[in-house]
Amino acid sequence: MIKQKGILFILSGPSGVGKGTVRKALFEKETTMQYSISATTRSKRPGEQEGVDYFYRSKEAFEEMIKNNQLLEYAEYVNNYYGTPRQYVVETLDQGKDVFLEIEVQGALQVKENFPEGVFIFLSPPSLEELKNRIISRGTETETLVMNRLRAAKDEIELMDAYDYVVVNDYVEHAVDKIQAIVKSEHCRRERVASQYKKLLEVTES
């Protein structure tokens, strides 16, 4: 049987834009994509589960994974490590299934280097002002921290250039619809469809 490789989708964007919320809403809908669960050194938040939300690891264990080249990408974010386990992504794509990553921007750039054929989606805030409101409404941050995050977010927005698509997160439902449309479109790409037919012909001719 001819099996076509799955497509790697990467959702990224500035901090506080709502990547996690959009990703969760997307996976609550019917999707054939497989979510790649990340490893992290941050502690578990209430309601989170090992192997569902993250693989929670010690700093030592995480650094061991880095050393053994077991991560497709990793980044340090707010004093913790976050990374994508390589094996799951490679094996799942080989099985012909699409894989979905939801990661911050430094990691997305690393994936771009290793998987330029991936589909990179930038989730963008409707405006920096809105981003500020969202960060403030979390209620736990000081003004300085908020300003620092905003500055960081501004820098991150400049990174939009590395992406294939920009989805504005005005309403979660709209963002999810757009991502689903992107997934469908990518499956209709001439390169992908034609290469599948060509392989089919090679088999029938031999």
Report, in Å, the least distance between residue 49 CB and ligand 5GP: 13
Pair 119, 186: CB distance under 8 Å: yes
Question: Is residue 98 part of the contact set for ligand 5GP (CB under 6 A)?
Answer: no
CA distance 22 to 152: 21
Report, in Å, the least distance between residue 166 CB and ligand 5GP: 17
Report, in Å, the least distance between residue 128 CB and ligand 5GP: 17
CA distance 132 to 126: 11
Closer to ligand 5GP by Cβ: residue 15 or 70 = 15
Among residues 65, 75, 89, 176, which is the contact residue for ligand 5GP, using CB under 6 A? 75
Question: Is residue 156 part of the contact set for ligand 5GP (CB under 6 A)?
Answer: no
- DSSP secondary structure string for all residues of 67-111: HTT-EEEEEEETTEEEEEEHHHHHHHHHTT--EEEE--HHHHHHH
Report, in Å, the least distance between residue 47 CB and ligand 5GP: 12
Question: Is residue 34 part of the contact set for ligand 5GP (CB under 6 A)?
Answer: no
Coil, strand or helix: which one is 28?
helix
Question: Is residue 102 part of the contact set for ligand 5GP (CB under 6 A)?
Answer: yes
Q: What is the largest CA-CA distance in the chain?
A: 68
Token representation of residue 53: 């939300």
Other Cβ atoms less than 10 A from the Cβ of 14: the count is: 26
Closer to ligand 5GP by Cβ: residue 77 or 164 = 77
Report, in Å, the least distance between residue 6 CB and ligand 5GP: 18
Nearest to 125 by CA among 116, 134, 112: 134
Among residues 93, 104, 167, 183, which is the contact residue for ligand 5GP, using CB under 6 A? 104
Binding site for ligand 5GP (CB under 6 A): 15, 19-20, 38, 42, 73, 75, 77, 82-84, 102-104, 106-107
